């Protein structure tokens, strides 16, 4: 069969093509139809979708088709009805190339500690991650042995936690170590004073793996540790050992040196087989993070994140603010630098990214309020779409509380 009455009684209003027609779908496979519904969400309403052969019906199907070219609409529908799931994915690739940034899959939801990551856009607030013990961090006394100013470090952790509590923005801590001894010592210290999830970020794969071994020997649970990170240089031994020492969550830097543009990131994951390698070792809880090399590269990273959201169902992360400090305009004027950071954050949050690694933890005092305000607005939109917000969502904790 073929699509019947694909578009009838259509009208175009502000670029949104809508229809009141019924669609007949030659599909008897329930899972396929559900995949189709998952791929297409929001706006233009189709009262019913029924299979031409009978057996499967999905009502109230919605789609967002912001496209004035009706010919493209026909092509989209004629492709999507194909029953094979693999072809459905390819069809979505075709569709998303026409509607970039419009159709987002519902992402997997991970629970790290007491923080939820992923889900629908606007459902959960963006996670902010402050960095500690990085190179040239003034609190570090000896980066080899892992000696540092404990009182200052504890105060930094407490300030971020306080801001998280006040705004409703969940927080994590990125801990960097030059050696396995130092990294393990830093992680043990933070784990003793805070229950926040930790990004384990060592100078090399060997440093990360050996620090995990030390932590396990000392009885520290790794359930709230996110391995940071895997990339195109990572080998299977590193993945195997990280899993062996109890790691469940991995950040994957998707940078492809042969093609640094968005499609190159997808090639690294799919064509080059990195996702298959992870699956082989039982790694299924991954967070995708495109690399930011310079200020213009922020735009490339955000386009990559949109691509991920269109085609994959993994949560995403980005570390965008470090490059701002290398710009002479930001170096010469600290107040202007803060404005640059707020502007970049607003731009980034529009993509629905799940985690922002904002750099030095001392920036928390002006990063958290900026993100909380934008997340509050996003939360209000999500609520109007029928998404239930948690009690501690910034919309409830930060915006409504301040209005009252």
Does 379 lie in the same domain as 281?
Answer: yes
Q: Final residue of a domain: which of 64, 98, 132?
A: 98
What is the pLDDT confidence band of residue 220, given thresholds at 50, 70 and 90?
Answer: confident
Inter-axis angle of helices 295-311 and 85-98, nearest 10: 140
Does 323 lie in the same domain as 176?
Answer: yes
Q: Final residue of a domain: which of 66, 98, 130?
A: 98
Does 370 lie in the same domain as 240?
Answer: yes
Nearest-angstrom CA–CA distance, 129 and 172? 5
Nearest to 287 by CA among 253, 257, 258: 253
pLDDT in tens, 204-218: 999 999 999 999 999
Q: Final residue of a domain: which of 98, 121, 151?
A: 98
SS (H, E, C) 137-159: CCCEEECCCCEECHHHHHHHHHH
Q: Are strands 171-177 and 147-148 parallel, antiparallel or unpaired?
A: unpaired
What pLDDT sits at residue 219?
Answer: 87
pTM: 0.76
In the chain, what percentage of residues exceed pLDDT 90? 69
Comparing 43-52, 102-111, 123-132, 298-307, the range with the smallest average pLDDT is: 43-52
Is residue 305 situated within a structural domain?
A: yes
Does 65 lie in the same domain as 187?
Answer: no
Q: Which pair of structure tokens corresponds to residue 265? A: 């990131």
Is residue 5 situated within a structural domain?
A: no
What pLDDT sits at residue 360?
Answer: 97
Is residue 6 situated within a structural domain?
A: no
Could you list the residue range(s) of the whole structural domain that residue 66 is in? 11-98
Displacement of CA 90 from its chain's centroid (Å): 22
Under 8 Å between Cβ of 200 and 183 = yes
- For 62-84, what is the mean pLDDT? 33
pLDDT in tens, 151-164: 999 999 999 999 99
Is residue 78 situated within a structural domain?
A: yes
Does 147 lie in the same domain as 72?
Answer: no
CATH code at position 343: 3.20.20.20
* Total domains present in the chain: 2
Does 111 lie in the same domain as 94?
Answer: no
Does 205 lie in the same domain as 88?
Answer: no
Does 116 lie in the same domain as 41?
Answer: no
Residue 130 neighbours by CB under 8 Å, 6+ apart? 156, 160, 171, 172, 173, 174, 358, 359, 360, 361, 362, 363, 364
What is the pLDDT confidence band of residue 106, given thresholds at 50, 70 and 90?
Answer: confident
Is residue 329 situated within a structural domain?
A: yes
Is residue 3 situated within a structural domain?
A: no
Is residue 49 situated within a structural domain?
A: yes
DSSP assignment of 63-95 = ---B-S-HHHHHHHHHHHT---HHHHHHHHHHH
CB neighbour class for 107 (10 Å; exposed up to 12, middle 13-18, buried from 19): buried
Comparing 74-78, 177-181, 220-224, 278-282, the range with the smallest average pLDDT is: 74-78
Does 355 lie in the same domain as 284?
Answer: yes
In the chain, what percentage of residues exceed pLDDT 70? 73
Does 262 lie in the same domain as 308?
Answer: yes
Is residue 150 situated within a structural domain?
A: yes
Residue 27 has pLDDT above 70, yes or no: no
pLDDT in tens, 109-149: 999 999 999 999 899 999 999 999 999 999 999 999 999 99
Please name every residue paired with 253 in a beta bridge, in sequence order, or none if there are none: 289
Does 359 lie in the same domain as 257?
Answer: yes
Neighbours of 94 (CB within 10 A): 13
What is the pLDDT confidence band of residue 71, given thresholds at 50, 70 and 90?
Answer: very low
Does 170 lie in the same domain as 116?
Answer: yes
Residue 236 has pLDDT above 70, yes or no: yes
């Amino acid at each position: 069969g073929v699509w019947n009455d694909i578009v009838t009684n259509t009208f175009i209003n502000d670029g949104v093509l809508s229809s009141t027609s019924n669609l007949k779908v030659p599909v008897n496979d329930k899972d396929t139809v559900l995949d189709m519904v998952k791929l297409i969400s929001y706006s233009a309403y189709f009262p019913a979708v029924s299979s031409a052969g009978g057996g499967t019906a999905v009502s109230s199907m919605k789609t967002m088709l912001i496209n004035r070219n009706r010919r493209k609409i026909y092509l989209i529908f004629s492709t999507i009805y194909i029953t094979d799931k693999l072809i459905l994915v390819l069809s979505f690739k075709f569709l998303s190339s026409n509607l970039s940034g419009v159709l987002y899959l519902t992402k997997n939801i991970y629970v790290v500690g007491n923080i939820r990551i992923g889900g629908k856009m606007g459902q959960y607030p963006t996670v902010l991650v402050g960095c500690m013990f990085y190179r040239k961090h003034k609190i570090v006394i000896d980066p080899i042995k892992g000696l540092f100013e404990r009182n200052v470090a504890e105060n930094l952790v407490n300030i971020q936690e306080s801001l998280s509590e006040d705004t409703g923005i969940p927080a994590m801590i990125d801990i960097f170590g030059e050696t396995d001894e130092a990294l393990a010592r830093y992680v043990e210290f933070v784990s003793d004073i805070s229950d926040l999830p930790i990004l384990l970020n060592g100078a090399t794969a060997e440093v990360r793996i050996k620090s995990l071994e030390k932590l396990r020997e000392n009885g520290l649970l790794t359930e709230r540790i996110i391995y940071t990170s895997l990339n195109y240089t990572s080998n299977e031994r590193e993945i195997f050992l990280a899993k062996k020492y109890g790691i469940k969550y991995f950040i994957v830097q998707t940078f492809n040196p042969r093609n640094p543009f968005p499609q190159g990131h997808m090639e690294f994951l799919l064509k080059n087989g990195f996702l298959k390698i992870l699956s082989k070792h039982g790694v299924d809880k991954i967070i995708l993070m495109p690399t930011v090399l310079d200020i213009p590269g922020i735009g490339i990273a955000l386009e990559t994140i949109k691509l991920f959201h269109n085609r994959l169902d993994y949560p995403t992360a980005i570390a965008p603010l470090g490059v701002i400090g290398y710009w002479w305009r930001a170096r010469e004027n600290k107040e202007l630098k803060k404005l640059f950071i707020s502007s970049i954050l607003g731009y980034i949050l529009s993509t629905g990214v799940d985690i922002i690694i904002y750099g030095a933890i001392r920036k928390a005092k002006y990063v958290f309020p900026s993100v909380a305000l934008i997340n509050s607005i996003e939360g209000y939109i999500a609520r109007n779409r029928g998404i239930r917000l948690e009690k501690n969502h910034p919309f409830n904790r930060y915006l409504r509380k301040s209005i009252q």
